[in-house]
């Protein structure tokens, strides 16, 4: 993956805000912590998780996000020819998480 970094900022209400762009969904994720040590622990754990390129990183995604990621990474795939069926599938199952599927 590209350079991944979690940023920590002090907020006005004496908390600490962690912010990063999720490398798979490209969405900004923010989380508040009451102490600097909690924020630093979160930063270390999150950076290790995403820099390791493990399959577990995909388990937090929804089906829609995972299919979108796949379509971006592999634009010339079999599913792109069946876009009508893919849209219907995403509308039906897209809101479910990958970890919810058994």
What pLDDT score was predicted for residue 1?
Answer: 44
Mean pLDDT on 61-83: 80
Residue 67 exposed, middle or buried by CB count within 10 Å (0-12, 13-18, 19+): middle
Say what percent of the chain tops pLDDT 70. Answer: 91
What is residue 64's predicted lDDT score, i.e. its pLDDT?
Answer: 84
| Mean pLDDT estimate for the chain | 83
pLDDT tens digits for range 3-18: 788 999 998 888 999 9
pLDDT at 97 over 80: yes
pLDDT for the residue numbered 56: 67
State the pairing for strand pair 16-21/7-10. antiparallel
């Amino acid at each position: 993956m590209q350079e991944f970094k979690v940023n920590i900022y002090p907020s006005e209400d004496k908390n600490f805000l962690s912010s990063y762009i999720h490398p798979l969904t490209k969405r900004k994720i923010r989380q508040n912590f009451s102490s600097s040590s909690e924020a630093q622990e979160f930063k270390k754990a999150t950076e290790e998780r995403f820099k390791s390129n493990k399959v577990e990183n995909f388990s937090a995604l929804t089906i829609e996000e995972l299919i979108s990621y796949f379509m971006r990474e592999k634009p010339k795939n079999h599913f792109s020819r069946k876009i009508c069926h893919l849209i219907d599938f995403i509308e039906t199952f897209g809101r479910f998480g990958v970890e919810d599927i058994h």
